[in-house]
Structure 1
Amino acid sequence: MLLHTIRQTRLVLIVFAALSFAVTLYYSARIYCSFGAGLWTTNAINTTPLTVRTPRECVDPYKIPGYMYTTEDREETRWIPFYPSFFDLPALPETAYPHPEDMGDILLNNRTVDDVILNTAPVPWFRMLRSYYAYLKKVADAKEGHQPEPELSEQDEFVRVHMSWTKNRRILLMGDSIDRNQLQYMCEDMGHPFVEDGGPYVMEQTTAYCHIPLINITFVQWHIAGMYTFRPEWWWMPMKLVSFEDRFKEIFKPVSMHRVIGPSGSGPDLILMQSGTWDQVAFLSGAHFHQMQALPEKNRTKFVIGRPRQPLTMDQLRFVSKRFIKFVEFMKDVFGDNVPMMYRSSSVRKEGKDEDAGILSIDRMLRSLVTTRFNMEIFDWSRLAYGATSEYRDFIHFNKGRMSWLFSDMLLHYLFRASGGVEIEGVVKIWPQEKTMHDLNANWEVCHDYIVDTTNR
């Protein structure tokens, strides 16, 4: 009788466990659908770090040729890599030959993307971050109003469990107004003020940031005015300090260093570095100035940012390369080798073609430099955004739109990887773990050798 009772109890427990798992899987699937691809699989709760991975487990989806999926809702913007699974899909009826007479013309103008394909896109991390913030704010508002803690929806519970890796993070962008604009859009989308702060140097081209207290995540931008070593008399912008050494000593360090240092006293969790646009304009401006000096004063014209139609000279590229080497080495001395650094590739003009020759020559050279000299990976958002002319707000800067949303998704994708997360073909296999999520270099290096590549343009 006792044995029978034990067996009955065991059977009840097994049934209860099975039902619990089924309910969990059901609600998780609903959450998965609300966020997009890759957020829930039976392997998503794996907590075992993969110290050795295969090439398939170490793929950067933003390096793979793909399709820019867009709708009227900019928040639906996704980059869909062309994985082999795309080519293994069944043939469409329209591919039949000879063409069936009763089929009509071949139009194929359906703009929707089948979930089988969409689900291979990288996880929409920015949407996840905003949901996580919304959950934290709901809890904070209830606490502030002395109200009972709110009931959690399935989505709240999901982001509570899985998005804590974004807490206590610092991301540093060192570049030009392209970076500053993208950071501003990201802050606005999070509903937090974007602050430009130059300390005693009150102007746009200094530092900018936004801080999200509930998550304790801070995005910081340091404006790099190209690779010039001093401020010539012909400098076209009203700024006192030009070289990155002077700007770090007088602006970045005293005004903004405390914003890129995390609670533990460590530096940024991810750094993007860029130069190019300002270098090109500097060379043009200097050439124009000296051309005008050779003319009578009445014949001189004011410098206007021009439209170069030829690559930079080899000496100009040598100059930028040597200075950029010093730039990277300088920042490594400041922050050490533990922080993942990426080169943010250069953007081109809205309607460029041969007018992009100068900036492309710098970009191609820097791609080769950072990958071969520093084994650095490339944040290649500008290459993916190439041709999206409707997204520009002027001849060089992007609007707040689909491409800015993609920028935010990409930035968080690389932060996820630096935190120890593993995402394969749109599916999260391992979530960052508390005890290892701040081992940035170790997490980054696991897949680094499979991913670092010049990716020519």
Structure 2
Amino acid sequence: MQSSFYGAKVFANILLAATVVATLFLTLQFRGKLLTSENEGPAGYSANSTYGHELISSENSYECINPYSQPGFIWMETRNTTDNTTWVPFYSGLLDEQFSQIWDTKGEPVDKIVDDTRYFPNKFPPNDLLKNAPTQWFQLLRQYKKMRDAVSTEKSTGRKTGYTKIIRELEKQLYWLQNRSLLVVGDSADGTLISHLCNSLAADLDYEPTNGLDETSIGTCNIREWNLTITHWQLGCVGYNCSSSAVETPESIDQKWDRYFIPTSDSVVGQNGASPDLVIFQSGLWSEQFFVNRYREYVNRKIIDYSRTLNFNELVLYTRLLRRTISKLRDLYGYQVPILYRTVTLKNTVHQDIAALNLDSAARYACRELDIEIIDFGWLVRGYYSFYSDDVNIDEGPLSALWANMVFWYLFRSQGGVEVRGDLVRMPDMDMTNVGAWDMCHDTFMKDLKIRS
């Protein structure tokens, strides 16, 4: 009996090792290139890592390209795994691949393949396409966590994992996350995505309602291995309390700000020692609730109508409230802190999204006028309704992994990191604050935003 138990444990360890090695092999395939420069990183940094894109030595010459604003598609190996999930941008010329690189044509003419009704298998897209995908920071963090946990059991089990060298290489690529701080100001949709990220990394996660309701709360996630902190201020709507009968005295944005968030603002400090390294802000679901509830009361209806188009005055009020909230963020932390606006949170039923889309258009206008860049996650995942866990929240899986990778891409950039077409042109400097780092490509990205809005 004891022998069988021991054999099962040995088999489990072999299976774990095989799984990790296979995943790393796929990661290497996905990255497509090796790091080739030893001019960046902390003391002892070696660029011989096999887990990232190519690090190109560059003075000040590089393109400002945001992969998440390019046309593309969400690549996922299966819908039940986060491994290798990424946004694959369609850069110029990358779709002109021969069919033989994707399918075995067996000598048949290309036009016959196109006209055929056969099922096209979900194989890896061509390497020329995948190597241009942005770095999968979230998957790298997960691999690091799994290997660290496995190594920590070596003393008790007496068996070597062989992961020590790989862990050191991962640390050389992920070092820039040390002591970073991200502030997310939004609603429960943001909180759910943060929870998925932190649960996947076994991080410390804590949420506390501030007014007895979920509408306003403060959450903190700390990824211990890097002292990376994600703070969530669940603001609710940017007007008064969005649920008219939820509390006896509705609170305005000013009251919420002064009562709940200002007292905790000093704890949201990143590498620069004075402020978060990046702020992501949005107000969609609760603000939508604010307007539909007011209309329901005005027409004396019992049923909330999400299919009504918001009127001009409602959109004007919304943009003014957005301005006020963004001004509060800038007054609190200064103009040098990068702020992103996350776009629309769509429900899992299309016919109820009219008001949300109205607010999204108004928010894009406000961001254009206020010089605020946009993280377009909500727009990239539109239509993926079967990946929701309820009416508004995305389930843990490929889409939550995509959100995490997007957030880390912007955080990487805010600290001076530059990634162009999948190549890591420059790594962040640990002594560098975010002053000026964001501005390197800001004007270019804002110009693109004005064209697309």
- Counterpart residue number, 1:421: 417
| Among 345, 358, 363, the residue aligned to 1:361 | 358
- Counterpart residue number, 1:89: 97
- Counterpart residue number, 1:166: 177
Q: Identity of paired residues, percent?
A: 23
Is there any run of 5+ residues in structure 2 with no aligned partner, and where? Answer: 1-22, 41-55
Q: Does 1:79 align with 2:87?
A: yes
Q: 1:235 to 1:79 in 2, by over 3 A?
A: same
Q: 1:408 to 1:42 in 2, by over 3 A?
A: closer
| Among 41, 62, 65, the residue aligned to 1:59 | 65
Q: 1:236 to 1:403 in 2, by over 3 A?
A: farther
Q: Does 1:128 align with 2:140?
A: yes
Q: 1:289 to 1:114 in 2, by over 3 A?
A: closer
Distance 1:104 1:345 in 2: 38
- Counterpart residue number, 2:337: 339
Are the equivalent residues in 2 in contact too, given 1:38–1:428 (CA < 8 A)?
no
- Counterpart residue number, 1:248: 257
- Counterpart residue number, 1:440: 434
Q: Does 1:204 align with 2:198?
A: no
Letter of the structure 2 residue corresponding to residue 344 of structure 1: R
Structure ranking higher on relative contact order (CA contacts 8 Å, 6+ apart): 1
Secondary structure at the residue paired with 2:232? strand
After superposition, residues 385-396 of structure 1 pair within 5 angstroms as: 385-396=381-392
- Counterpart residue number, 2:373: 377
Secondary structure at the residue paired with 1:37? helix
| Among 279, 287, 290, the residue aligned to 1:271 | 279
Letter of the structure 2 residue corresponding to residue 111 of structure 1: N
Distance 1:43 1:320 in 2: 49
Are the equivalent residues in 2 in contact too, given 1:37–1:427 (CA < 8 A)?
no
Corresponding pairs, count = 406
Q: Does 1:70 align with 2:76?
A: yes
Deviations 1:191-243 (A, max 9, x none): 124211235x3332311121122311111111122121x459x7143485532
Name the Cα RMSD after superposition. 3.3
Deviation at 1:276, TM superposition (A): 2.4
After superposition, residues 15-414 of structure 1 pair within 5 angstroms as: 33-34=26-27, 37-38=30-31, 40-47=33-40, 52-54=60-62, 57-72=63-78, 73-76=80-83, 77-92=85-100, 96=109, 99=112, 105-107=116-118, 109-116=120-127, 117-134=129-146, 153-199=164-210, 201-205=211-215, 206-228=217-239, 230-231=240-241, 235-238=244-247, 240=249, 242-254=251-263, 256-262=264-270, 265-292=273-300, 302=302, 304-310=303-309, 312-353=310-351, 355-371=352-368, 373-414=369-410
Letter of the structure 2 residue corresponding to residue 357 of structure 1: I
Distance 1:190 1:338 in 2: 30
Distance 2:374 2:37 in 1: 27
Deviation at 1:151, TM superposition (A): 6.7
Secondary structure at the residue paired with 1:428? strand
Are the equivalent residues in 2 in contact too, given 1:196–1:204 (CA < 8 A)?
no
Distance 1:212 1:98 in 2: 52
Q: 1:238 to 1:35 in 2, by over 3 A?
A: farther
Deviations 1:393-451 (A, max 9, x none): 22222112211111111111111111222222222232222233xx2131111111222
Are the equivalent residues in 2 in contact too, given 1:271–1:341 (CA < 8 A)?
yes
Distance 1:39 1:335 in 2: 39
Deviation at 1:261, TM superposition (A): 2.0
Are the equivalent residues in 2 in contact too, given 1:38–1:427 (CA < 8 A)?
no
Q: 1:231 to 1:268 in 2, by over 3 A?
A: same
Q: 1:422 to 1:98 in 2, by over 3 A?
A: closer
Deviation at 1:53, TM superposition (A): 3.8
Deviation at 1:174, TM superposition (A): 0.6
Q: 1:41 to 1:277 in 2, by over 3 A?
A: same
Are the equivalent residues in 1 in contact too, given 2:244–2:293 (CA < 8 A)?
yes
Larger mean Cα displacement after TM superposition, 112-121 or 77-86:
112-121
- Counterpart residue number, 2:12: none
Letter of the structure 2 residue corresponding to residue 250 of structure 1: R
Are the equivalent residues in 2 in contact too, given 1:37–1:120 (CA < 8 A)?
no
Are the equivalent residues in 2 in contact too, given 1:44–1:429 (CA < 8 A)?
no
Secondary structure at the residue paired with 2:438? helix
Give the TM-score normalised by the residue count of structure 1.
0.79
Are the equivalent residues in 1 in contact too, given 2:341–2:373 (CA < 8 A)?
yes
Distance 1:150 1:259 in 2: 38
Letter of the structure 2 residue corresponding to residue 243 of structure 1: S
Q: 1:288 to 1:329 in 2, by over 3 A?
A: same
Distance 2:58 2:441 in 1: 10
Letter of the structure 2 residue corresponding to residue 41 of structure 1: L
Distance 1:53 1:382 in 2: 32
Q: 1:51 to 1:283 in 2, by over 3 A?
A: farther
Q: 1:112 to 1:154 in 2, by over 3 A?
A: farther
Q: 1:110 to 1:39 in 2, by over 3 A?
A: closer
Secondary structure at the residue paired with 1:196? strand
Larger mean Cα displacement after TM superposition, 243-252 or 104-113:
104-113
Letter of the structure 1 residue corresponding to residue 34 of structure 2: T
Q: 1:98 to 1:335 in 2, by over 3 A?
A: closer
Are the equivalent residues in 2 in contact too, given 1:35–1:124 (CA < 8 A)?
no
Deviation at 1:159, TM superposition (A): 1.2
Q: 1:384 to 1:181 in 2, by over 3 A?
A: same
- Counterpart residue number, 1:451: 445
Deviation at 1:124, TM superposition (A): 0.6
Are the equivalent residues in 1 in contact too, given 2:207–2:219 (CA < 8 A)?
yes
Letter of the structure 2 residue corresponding to residue 75 of structure 1: T
- Counterpart residue number, 2:52: none
Are the equivalent residues in 1 in contact too, given 2:72–2:87 (CA < 8 A)?
yes
Q: 1:81 to 1:46 in 2, by over 3 A?
A: farther
Letter of the structure 1 residue corresponding to residue 385 of structure 2: T
Larger mean Cα displacement after TM superposition, 119-128 or 108-117:
108-117
